[in-house]
Amino acid sequence: MDCQLCQKELDEYPGGNTDGNLNNQVKAHLEICEDCAVIYRIRSLAESVISFEKAISPDNNLSATIMARIEKEEDVSNNGKSLFIRILKPALITSSMAAAIFAGVLMGNIYKPISGEPGRPIELTLIDDAAIESVDILSNQ
Amino acid sequence: MTDSEIIIEVLHGNRNSFGILVEKYQSLVFRTCMGFLHDKDDCDDLTQDIFIQAYQSLKGFKGESAFSTWIYRIAVNASLNRVRRNSGNPILNRLDSLFGSGKEKEFQLPVSDTENPESILIRQEHSKWIQDALNGLPENQRTAIVLSKYDDLSQKEIAEIMQTTEGAVEALMQRAKANLRLKLSPAFKKIGKTP
């Protein structure tokens, strides 16, 4: 048996689909070929490491823990939403109203009547306030 | 009840139905994580994260593949991310081990009562070599090996999970085996027939 065939048959060695005769040939080759023997030892050890790791089970409470975490995270997310509804939304509405009122006052103050609009009558403008007789004087009379 | 029916129920607001999927697939996810992390506590944590991620992205599951394929993909990606994260902070990891705040990550094979301490140590050291050699493989080769050896999946299933062809998976497996041989042979030649 050559190394190529031996390494091909190692997948099934020992036992598996390898028949008795082939099994013996592989065994004989492994005794004389150090390279194939090393590959076989690596395979065997790797398989035992993997088998051991595969046999480890997750925590018994793992699914309960997962569901509890999902529930908790959903509650936190819902609480986050209700916090927005309870506090931030009224605050947002109040501040929007305050901003609207402020803008209204500001616009009212900067308003100037356009020229051509009827203002104070000219007769009133021409009245000389200083010349108007005091009410006291009139009352004394 | 099929996976699709359960998913529809969950999407309609029946959160508890997701528990059925968790029960059904937790071992599968845990085993995949084990192939990458080799530590039970880490795998428990990561399995939790994977299912929470799956629950949160369930709306994005279009049903084009089986739920198992989808959860495998999440598990592989999450495991690779965790491995990258763990190996990305060598200084922090060293500090952790120096001050004893890090968890003991040494892999230990079961020991029998009759085995002497020296052979136990040797065997555990050899196991560590295997583990390190697996960890040193490129990500795609490692993924193919983990899905094949830890999850016992066929090349067709692996190809579907890795979104590639069966031929590509076969090539990855061959390269992974050759790489493992290359990494481990010198050490195993030195020690003779001990393991």
Residue A38 domain boundaries: 3-55
Residue B184: its chain A contacts at CB < 8 A? 42
In a domain, A18, yes or no: yes
Residue B38: its chain A contacts at CB < 8 A? 53
Q: With an 8 Å Cβ cutoff, is A74 touching chain B?
A: yes
In a domain, A35, yes or no: yes
∠ CA A21-A22-A26, nearest 5°, is 120
In a domain, A19, yes or no: yes
Residue A70: its chain B contacts at CB < 8 A? 15, 18, 51-52, 55
* 3-class state of residue A57 by DSSP: coil
Helix/strand/coil percent split, chain A, to 5: 75, 0, 25
- Look up the ipTM and state it: 0.80
User: Amino acid identity, residue B188?
Assistant: F
Q: With an 8 Å Cβ cutoff, is A78 touching chain B?
A: no
Token pair, residue A89, equals 């939304």
In a domain, A17, yes or no: yes
Structural domains counted in chain A: 1
In a domain, A43, yes or no: yes
Euclidean distance between the first and the last CA atom of chain B, given in angstroms as a whole number: 48
Q: What is the C-alpha separation between B76 and B79, in angstroms, rounded?
A: 5
Q: What number is the average pLDDT over the span A119-125?
A: 73
Say yes or no: domain B106-195 is CATH 1.20.59.20. Answer: no
How confident is the model over B41-69, as pLDDT tens digits?
999 999 999 999 999 999 888 888 899 99
For chain B, the domains span: 1-105, 106-195
Instruction: Please name the residue of chain B whose CA is at the shortest distance from the CA of residue A30.
Output: B193
Instruction: Please name the residue of chain A whose CA is at the shortest distance from the CA of residue B14.
Output: A71
Q: With an 8 Å Cβ cutoff, is B120 touching chain A?
A: no
In a domain, A47, yes or no: yes
How would you write the pLDDT of chain B (195 residues) with one tens digit per residue? 888 899 999 999 888 899 999 999 999 999 999 999 988 999 999 999 999 999 999 988 888 889 999 999 999 999 999 998 887 665 655 555 555 544 445 455 555 556 677 777 877 787 788 888 988 999 999 999 999 999 999 999 999 999 999 999 999 999 998 899 888 888 777 665 544
In a domain, A14, yes or no: yes
pLDDT of A122 reads 75
pLDDT of A7 reads 80
Residue B44: its chain A contacts at CB < 8 A? 58-59, 62
pLDDT of A25 reads 84
* 3-class state of residue B8 by DSSP: helix
Per-window interface: B 61-90 vs A, CB < 8 A: none
Q: With an 8 Å Cβ cutoff, is A105 touching chain B?
A: no
Say yes or no: domain B1-105 is CATH 1.10.1740.10. Answer: yes
Q: Say which residue, B143 or A91, is predicted with more confidence.
A: B143
Q: With an 8 Å Cβ cutoff, is A46 touching chain B?
A: yes
- Using alpha carbons, select from A40, A34, A49, A36 the residue that is nearest to residue A4: A36
